[in-house]
Chains A and B, each alone.
Chain A
Amino acid sequence: MKKLLLIGFGLFFLVNSIKAQNSISGYIVSLETAEPIANATIFLNNRYGLPTEDSLRVTSDSTGFYRIARIEAGTYIINAWTTYQAMNEHYAQVIQSNRIEVDSSLNVDFVFSEIAFKYRLHGKYHPWEAFIPQKRSLNMVARRAVRLQLFINSQRKSLGASFIERMK
């Protein structure tokens, strides 16, 4: 009798944990102004970087806050992007997390930097500069200082990837 009860309870918890619904929430801020970024898009990909259902895509509100609710426990990659304008073109700056195990509700914050975007854009059109040893300069220091950042539960984590993309 006792054994049966134990198995019953064990099963109950197992089923419960698989079905658990978690949420991811956080803030999107700008490094240069320390202000929130509104209308940034945040979405989840599965562990292979492939898109998931549309319900897991949200945008940040005017306080920079976003929340993705009802996420099944599992491993995901979180993406966030915001747009910048340069030379009459729109560009999306994308930050991608590493694989994240979502088995409880998480705070994931993204810090975008317009100066980092400008350095990246410059690099796109002057790719050879990466291969020529440069003299130490202010730009070398600045480029390192203005990195994009990702915080999970307020701990700084390394980025999976970041890139910029021209938008049509």
Chain B
Amino acid sequence: MKKLLLFFSLFFLVNSSNAQNSISGYIISLETAEPIPNATIFLNNRHNISLEQSDSLRVSTDSTGFYKIDEIKAGTYIINAWTTYRAMDQRYAMVITSDSVEVKRSRNVDFVFSENAFKYRLHAKYHLKEALEMLSQKKRSSDSVAFRAVLPQIYIDSKKRSMLTWYIKNISSIK
């Protein structure tokens, strides 16, 4: 009897570690509530280092803003999403990085990008002093309120989650 139990529990253990899961969701724009097509989503390992089989775990969104990554081995991952914005004849990527996500079943992960957040971040890059004043609330303005309000967002299974980081990167020089 005990042996049978052991056998069953082993069976489930092996089964769960081999299980193939999927991550799917929508990428939308905060300002327009419209989908963002051609955004790229990819998985890194729990230390945010790219995986060996990274190509198969990298997808982009379709015209409805939907993406789906299939055949993910159970484990802990960090999910990255990026889309591009244009400003002053330069192309920028805005990257959202999730906190580590345990994938042991299929999950919905939605990303909300914000063009205004991108503009504030870009402005801060070139006007650091002004940005610090805004953040420390020394100088309050409608911008200091808006900056907090328009931050990008991540939802996991429709619950709002905190993110590891988000940043912008000039990609004009990268071919």
Q: Is A101 an interface residue (CB 8 A)?
A: no
- Docked complex Cα distance between A64 and B140 (Å): 12
Give the distance to chain A from B102, nearest Cβ to Cβ, in Å.
20
Secondary structure at chain A's binding surface: helix, strand, loop or mixed? mixed
Q: Are A145 and B153 in contact (CB under 8 A)?
A: yes
Q: Are B142 and A35 in contact (CB under 8 A)?
A: yes
- Docked complex Cα distance between A145 and B117 (Å): 14
Q: Is A157 an interface residue (CB 8 A)?
A: no
Question: Size of chain A's interface in residues, with CB distance under 8 A?
Answer: 31
Q: Are A27 and B158 in contact (CB under 8 A)?
A: no
Q: Are B150 and A31 in contact (CB under 8 A)?
A: yes
Q: Are B116 and A34 in contact (CB under 8 A)?
A: yes
Q: Are A141 and B110 in contact (CB under 8 A)?
A: yes
Q: Are B31 and A111 in contact (CB under 8 A)?
A: no
Q: Interface code A55-76, partner B: CB below 8 Å = 1, 0 otherwise?
A: 0000000011100000000000
- Residues of B close to A33: CB separation below 8 A: 31, 116
Q: Is B28 an interface residue (CB 8 A)?
A: yes
Most chain B CB atoms below 10 A, which of A34, A65, A111, A154: A34
Q: Interface code A62-97, partner B: CB below 8 Å = 1, 0 otherwise?
A: 011100000000000000000000000000000000
- Which of these, A63, A107, A115, A149, contacts B149 with CB under 8 Å? A149
Q: Are A107 and B140 in contact (CB under 8 A)?
A: yes
- Docked complex Cα distance between A35 and B146 (Å): 8
If the complex has contacts A115-B33, A154-B148, are A142 and B28 also in contact, measured as CB distance less than 8 A? yes
- Which of these, A29, A136, A141, A144, contacts B142 with CB under 8 Å? A29
Give the distance to chain A from B83, nearest Cβ to Cβ, in Å.
15
Subset of 27 A-B contacts with CB under 8 Å: A27-B144, A28-B142, A31-B149, A32-B32, A34-B119, A34-B120, A34-B143, A34-B149, A35-B142, A63-B141, A107-B140, A111-B149, A138-B26, A138-B33, A138-B35, A138-B66, A139-B33, A141-B25, A141-B26, A141-B155, A145-B33, A145-B155, A146-B30, A151-B145, A151-B149, A154-B148, A156-B148
| A-B CB proximity, top 6 nearest | A34-B146, A142-B33, A36-B142, A34-B116, A64-B142, A111-B149
- Chain B residues packing against A (C-beta within 8 Å): 25-26, 28, 30-35, 64-66, 108, 110, 112, 116, 119-120, 137, 140-150, 153, 155, 158, 160
- Chain A residues packing against B (C-beta within 8 Å): 26-29, 31-36, 63-65, 107, 109, 111, 115, 136-142, 144-146, 149, 151, 154, 156
